[in-house]
Amino acid sequence: MHKLGPGRLPERERDSDISAIIVPHAGFVYSGASAAHAYLSIAEQDKPETVIVIGPNHTGRGTPISVMGEGFWETPLGLVPLDTELAERIVKKSRIAEFDDTAFIREHSIEVQLPFLQFIYPEFKLVPICMGYQDLVTSRDLGLAIHESIVGESVIIIASSDLNHMESMKESNRKDKFVLDAIEAMDEIMLQDSVKRERISTCGYGPVSATLVASKLGGAKSAEILSYYTSGDIIGDNRSVVGYASAKITRNEK
């Protein structure tokens, strides 16, 4: 087992108090150990019927919020069916989201989550959402649409984001703390303001913001950082690093 991972496999099921997780999306050798902490946490509670994965748009393809609603996604572990009905509800309730498959061509931020999900869940449905716009208005629109679409449903939300990119370990640690503090405060305004003010190159602050909005509307009470490190901790070069963190958002107080 990796020294930066959780150090164990899932052990038992418990009440489903986790409504969302935040995970990184770099190559598994870099960020997989951090992501494993969050996937362990949801593997030890009841399995959802559907997983919504929100990732940033790295390619520029597609619309401001792109949703894919028909077909399957495939990995070496098998096929994952898309939840067409839930995707349609989200698009209908959002003022911005549209169906657009092109946003997912060569976009890695969502697909790298599937092997983790397929390992912990024998069967589930997927709603992939790719955010081209990540501003506060767009994030709140998507978060509200998701909340209104999943009331009474068995759903986990996953926000996919790496942290600050390609600065020294010291500077990345400083900048990443603003993002981690905003997540723990469950404050999307604090997150958006910090990213802009400090020029933090967190690539998925929109997905994180939307997830915070949906989670709070759904009754979430607290967030906890489960893991944080940088690529320097993996390769031993701290001159230019990328930050990775995972977190869980729960309906219960800490």
Task: State the SS3 of 137-152.
Answer: HHHHHHHHHHHHHHCC
User: Within a domain: residue 122?
Assistant: yes
pLDDT value of position 4: 86
What region, left, alpha or beta, does residue 189 occupy, with left being phi > 0 and alpha being psi -120 to 50 degrees? alpha
Q: What is the pLDDT of residue 15?
A: 62
pLDDT tens digits for 146-171? 999 999 999 999 999 999 999 999 99
Q: Looking at the 3D structure of the chain, how many domains does it have?
A: 1
User: What is the extent of the structural domain holding 208?
Assistant: 18-250
In this predicted structure, what is the pLDDT of residue 253?
65
CATH number of the CATH domain containing 186 = 3.40.830.10
Q: What tokens does 180 get?
A: 């981690």
Position 122 scores a pLDDT of 87
* Residues in the chain where the model's pLDDT stays below 70: 1, 12-16, 253-254
